[in-house]
Amino acid sequence: MRTKQQLVSFIISSMLLFFLTVTNSMAETSINKLDLTAPEAYEAQRNQQLKLIDIRTPQEWQQTGIPAGAVRVNMAHPDGKAGFINALLTAIGGNKNQPIAVICRTGSRSALVQQVLIEEGFAHVMNVPEGIIGSSAGPGWLQRKLPIEQVSN
């Protein structure tokens, strides 16, 4: 009788552990990769799984607008790399473990920034390689008709 109870207990525990592991890994895989398509970045940002960071220049923001909900942090900061890192940290509440996705015009600058941020100790940095206007990685935020916020300053 006791071994039967132990077996049932073991099976229930195993099923619970399996369920928790699968559920956790499913939640992580939605944003646990280095590159995101523009729609993936939009959905993850909309569902508050990450902060989307538009690293383009103010002139570019004015030309096209920015992805809806994105935070603007100019990678060409007047104080250089340190200024950019500090501005980014301020934008994400100082938490280097905050999942972020970086986006630029065509994905080239954001790929470089992604590597710099990883080297600087940011734990979860994704890139949107198709960028705002598109690249070989995809049609881009604008062509996909994802939401844009206009920028006046």
Structural domain total, the chain: 2
Q: For residue range 6-43, what is the model confidence (pLDDT) as tens digits?
A: 545 545 544 444 444 433 433 443 456 799 999 999 99
User: Domain check: are 77 and 139 in the same one?
Assistant: yes
Q: What is the DSSP string of 61-122?
A: HHHH-EETTPEE--SS-TTHHHHHHHHHHHHTTT-TTS-EEEE-SSSHHHHHHHHHHHHTT-
User: Domain check: are 25 and 37 in the same one?
Assistant: no
Q: How far is CA 8 from the centre of its chain?
A: 42
User: Domain check: are 61 and 17 in the same one?
Assistant: no
Res. 3 pLDDT band, cuts 50 70 90: low
User: Domain check: are 21 and 46 in the same one?
Assistant: no
User: Domain check: are 72 and 130 in the same one?
Assistant: yes
User: Domain check: are 46 and 3 in the same one?
Assistant: no
**H-helix or E-strand containing 143?**
helix 140-143
Residue 70's Cβ-count burial label (10 Å; 0-12, 13-18, 19+) is buried
Domain that holds residue 15: 1-30
User: Domain check: are 26 and 41 in the same one?
Assistant: no
Domain CATH code at residue 79: 3.40.250.10
User: Domain check: are 81 and 140 in the same one?
Assistant: yes
Place of tokens 């990678």: 75
CA dist list (Å): 138 to 22, 30, 56, 129: 30, 19, 18, 8
Q: For residue range 78-135, what is the model confidence (pLDDT) as tens digits?
A: 999 999 999 999 999 999 999 999 999 999 999 999 999 999 999 999 999 999 999 9
Q: Residue 136 in 3-state DSSP?
A: coil
User: Domain check: are 42 and 67 in the same one?
Assistant: yes
User: Domain check: are 26 and 37 in the same one?
Assistant: no
User: Domain check: are 83 and 136 in the same one?
Assistant: yes
User: Domain check: are 41 and 24 in the same one?
Assistant: no
Q: What's the whole-model pTM score?
A: 0.79
Distance of alpha carbon 99 from alpha carbon 113, whole angstroms: 14
Count of helix runs (H) and strand runs (E) in the chain: 6, 6
